[in-house]
Structure 1
């Protein structure tokens, strides 16, 4: 009996991957989450400014998206579709938290991100990591955290995630001209607060890889594909 050739997941297009995810295929889920974990995490963090809340939002966004994967029509990329869901999830989470705080305290209390401000999401410092670079990265992330939310989200998607103006506009549901304006103003504000040489640390900011990335994928697999095991 002839053996069926193994499916080449890496070369499947977005619609084909969506079909596999709809069938609760663990390999498709693993591939898509691995490709998008960092982008979704960075987008969620840019809204919530809290690492643990951002991780929870990413997991919730995946589960929400995968349950509705049949509605994905390929009009945008799968990554853009997922990022938009994560952004909406984070915004909803923040609105709910504001309502809760207002109800309990009568007014919004100080944001607790000052105590929990992410200094990178790696659970351990990589062997041989340069302390000075980590300090610079911390300064950069703190400066980005102080940007107004609209500027911060546009900046993270454009500069850190390297989305195009059009992709960012589609993800956020705003005109491309607005993306350009917010991005430019964010850069100007950062340039006033940071020396030019800090730009080199931007690529490594907000890492969400290695064990963190794999752990997120495993949690989504356990929640979404459990009934296939």
Structure 2
């Protein structure tokens, strides 16, 4: 079947879901895979970055995850969200890299079950109408990133997926091949650590942590599409 040449034009008549786009890619519209990557790049980046600290290696893991997802699209049957399926591939690829370097921190470590609810982390919204305040908020985001990086890997990846990336408890449990109670426990402990680290300084900037800027998005997309496009 003919491959779509312009992924932007291919979807301009509507806004297909990720699952619909994946199905069209499976049927031969290979160029639409670029649309999926651009939609999900930030979420995939944050999931990988929770496990891999080296930024160059993060991009390498992302590219490999996309290539694996593309080559195994036939295995995606729509039982879960495409984004959940893709992020799980990316997490598994990141863990494989860690195992290969003999520094894997096991994500299935035994956890207590002393927490039976997720609770709420209250974030006070702040207006940033002037450059000085915007600079302050960006500094706070960097402080958040540093605090998150200090978390143990099992807690960091749960916090990244749940709070930063916005996955549900069930989706996070599926991505990490664990149960929802473990996700709740690790999220509770990660939040407690951040409260201690950030105290009253935290604002409503958590969603901006680990941004994946346009130049990096373009680089990853270009590298993957170059390998998918026949020479």
TM-score (norm 2): 0.77
Q: 1:207 to 1:15 in 2, by over 3 A?
A: closer
The residue aligned with 1:223 is 227
In structure 1, runs of 5+ residues without a counterpart are 1-5, 100-127
Q: 1:13 to 1:139 in 2, by over 3 A?
A: closer
The residue aligned with 2:54 is 50
- How far apart, CA to CA, are the structure 1 residues paired with 2:97 and 2:140? 30
- How far apart, CA to CA, are the structure 2 residues paired with 1:174 and 1:144? 21
Bigger RCO of structures 1 and 2 (CA < 8 A, at least 6 apart): 1
Relative to its length, the structure with more helix (as a share) is 1
The residue aligned with 1:84 is 88
The residue aligned with 2:199 is 195
The residue aligned with 2:16 is 12
* Aligned ranges 1:74-223 → 2 under 5 Å: 74-98=78-102, 130-223=134-227
1:135 positional shift: 2.3
The residue aligned with 2:31 is 27
1:22 positional shift: 2.9
Equivalent pair of 1:154/1:182 in contact (CA under 8 Å): yes
Q: CA RMSD in A?
A: 2.0
Equivalent pair of 1:157/1:168 in contact (CA under 8 Å): yes
Equivalent pair of 1:14/1:74 in contact (CA under 8 Å): no
Aligned residues: 194
TM-score (norm 1): 0.78
1:24 positional shift: 5.2
Q: 1:178 to 1:218 in 2, by over 3 A?
A: same
1:7 positional shift: 5.1
